[in-house]
Amino acid sequence: MTAATSRTLLVAPGQQGAYATIGDAVRAAPDDATISVAGGSYEETFELVERRLTMRAAAGATVRLDGTGASWATLKVRGGFLTLQGIEVAAEVTAVQAEDVELTLERCTVSARGGPAVSVRGCRKFTLGRCTISGAEQGVVVESSSGRIENCDIRDVTGDGLVIGLGADPEVVGCTIAGCGHRGMYLYQYARPVVEGCDVSRTTGAGIAVAHRSVPTIRRTKVHDVAGAGMSFGPDCGGQVEACPLENTAEPALDLAEGATPTVVAPSAAASAAEGLDGLLSRLDEMVGLRAVKAEVRAVVDEIQVDEWRRNAGLAVGTVSHHLIFTGAPGTGKTTVARTYGSLLRELGVLEGGQFREVSRRDLVGQYIGHTAEKTSVVFEECLGGVLFIDEAYTLSRPTGGGGDFGQEAIDTLVKLMEDHRDQVAVIVAGYTGEMAGFLAANPGLASRFAKTIEFEDYTPPDLLEIVQRMAAEGDYLLEADTKPLLLSHFDRITGSPGFGNARDARRSFEGARKAQSQRLRGLGRMPETSELRTLTAADVQAATS
């Protein structure tokens, strides 16, 4: 007898053996099932209570869950577990409303006309990763919840971009917030988020506003080109502001009300210069593994630096493209390296702003002829002076069966724009090694636009163990010594297997161990000691990896 596995249900209207609607599949799905959705627009709304489901777009498909005709949330979730991957969710009011649920949104595009695009309340754990959120009254609202918002793009909302309140303490890492009718971030009522490596711009109010006894930690976050103060702290608010540039803002750039007590750490000019180039290269070197990748990036930096010295000496300098191809499996650090590369180009004077924007097929491809060229051009122009990172770029050249090859239109538009603006932007395309060959063949001039291809190899089991150890240290956890052989054995088993996620599997293992620890400590019947709260045991790791 074989072990039971979770089911996968296919939604594909008109296809034999598949479900005609997402609703049909949801009703039929057992807990822990995956619903794979073929390309198309689905005018459906859902209320899920105590369900455990994964819903994802089929490979290369553009899937739109359209609730714009309803006066309630497109997707309302309470209790249980929900993962949404690669799906566009549109709404008249709230697109995704989550309460007391373990929620994950990955590579989703979310919009709402009259409310928050994403509302998260009372969730012990949630993750928003590489999502694009726009066209809403508020971008993301988080209340009384813990989780992580990473590499998300929140823009063009009529109110606040990101609202965190009621004691919520999420991590907000590597996000871009731009074009807000009010504030970029509003942190209120005892909020305790950690905000790191973000970029906030084009807000009518303050870039980041802190109110009602909130104590955020804000590190290496740039606020620029805003109509209000760069950051404002209300009475009785504290926290820490560390190495955060505030540029082209109203005065004072850092507005502290009477009774506000944040600790502000501003690096000296010398320290800033060191962080500028040498610090960025050091940060690159500190990444786990990736020895060949680091060498390639350093070679590019060396060439740019020498060309600048030659130019200043009056010597001839050839035309150099700053566009790159990153190949390799998911979870190998491509996004992090691309972001660092943009910062390096800024410090070298090659790019004016160094801002970073990550997009995928759905951000570039429209629904009719001509729409795609317009969408692609708008995204490209917003990235001038910075880095445009196209993840899973091969999906642009993959036919979707929808009757129009709009991905090809996006590629053709990109080829022209990359040539016209080759000194103003760095375009990085990323994807699986084999798939990227087909992408480069989609236009005769595409391959020649890129200076170099950098291959990202899979992490080894020792690399993955080191990643878990770093996650534990950053989270103030201790791994018992006997957890390490268990983790190495687990990574040995899954490395190279179908669906292997590299660093994503490392994070999944760490989060699983944390969850197992929580369940174990809750069963003690007493308040755990500090050492117990910090320690992840072999039993915790075994539960997470079995």
Cβ atoms of 202 and 178 closer than 8 Å: yes
Indicate the pLDDT class of residue 527, thresholds 50, 70 and 90: confident
State the CB neighbour count (10 A cutoff) for residue 156.
Answer: 16
pLDDT at 4 over 70: no
Give the pLDDT of residue 218: 94
Strands 478-479 and 356-359: unpaired
Percent of the chain predicted with pLDDT > 70? 95
pLDDT at 147 over 50: yes
Indicate the pLDDT class of residue 29, thresholds 50, 70 and 90: very high
Start-to-end C-alpha separation, the chain: 19
Give the mean pLDDT of 276-297: 82
Hey, what are 106's tokens? Answer: 């990955």
d(CA 6, CA 177): 37
Give the pLDDT of residue 3: 42
Indicate the pLDDT class of residue 274, thresholds 50, 70 and 90: very low
CA dihedral 186, 336, 429, 385 (to 10 degrees): 60
Burial class for 160, CB neighbours closer than 10 Å (0-12, 13-18, 19+):
buried
d(CA 366, CA 340): 30
Give the pLDDT of residue 266: 65
Give the pLDDT of residue 276: 64
pLDDT at 277 over 80: no
Mean pLDDT, the chain, rounded, equals 87
Give the pLDDT of residue 2: 44
More confident residue, 226 or 437: 226
**pLDDT tens digits, one per residue of 89-117:** 999 999 999 999 999 999 999 999 888 99
Name which of 172, 426, 222, 211 is nearest 322 in CA terms: 426
**pLDDT tens digits, one per residue of 374-429:** 888 988 888 888 889 988 888 887 665 444 567 788 888 998 898 888 788 889 99
Cβ atoms of 261 and 239 closer than 8 Å: no
Task: Give the residues across from 154 on adjacent strands.
Answer: 133, 177
Note if the bond before 252 is cis, omega within 30 degrees: yes
Q: Which residues contact 502 (CB under 8 A, 6 or more apart)?
A: 329, 330, 331, 332, 458, 459, 464
Cβ atoms of 446 and 417 closer than 8 Å: no
Indicate the pLDDT class of residue 5, thresholds 50, 70 and 90: low
pLDDT at 241 over 50: yes
pLDDT at 48 over 90: yes
Domains defined for the chain, CATH in brackets: 8-158 (no CATH), 277-456 (3.40.50.300), 461-545 (1.10.8.60)
Indicate the pLDDT class of residue 65, thresholds 50, 70 and 90: very high
Hey, what are 527's tokens? Answer: 């308040």
Q: What is the pTM of this model?
A: 0.63
Hey, what are 394's tokens? Answer: 């091969």
DSSP letter string, 31-69: TTEEEEE-SEEE---EEEEEEEEEEEEPTT--EEEEETT
Give the pLDDT of residue 400: 52
Cβ atoms of 109 and 96 closer than 8 Å: no
- The amino acid present at 487, given as its one-letter code, is L
Q: Which H or E run contains 490?
A: helix 483-494
Indicate the pLDDT class of residue 342, thresholds 50, 70 and 90: confident
Give the mean pLDDT of 455-461: 88
b (16+ CB within 10 A) / e for 17-30:
ebbeebeebbeebe
- The amino acid present at 9, given as its one-letter code, is L
DSSP summary character for residue 19: B
b (16+ CB within 10 A) / e for 224-233:
bebebbbbbb
DSSP summary character for residue 395: G
Give the mean pLDDT of 248-273: 76
Give the pLDDT of residue 272: 43
pLDDT at 369 over 80: no
Task: Give the residues across from 109 on adjacent strands.
Answer: 88, 132
pLDDT at 273 over 70: no
DSSP summary character for residue 72: S
Q: Which residues contact 7 (CB under 8 A, 6 or more apart)?
A: 29, 30, 33, 34
- The amino acid present at 219, given as its one-letter code, is R
Give the three-class secondary structure for 254: strand
d(CA 338, CA 358): 9
Dihedral sign computed on CA atoms, order 372, 375, 376, 377 = positive
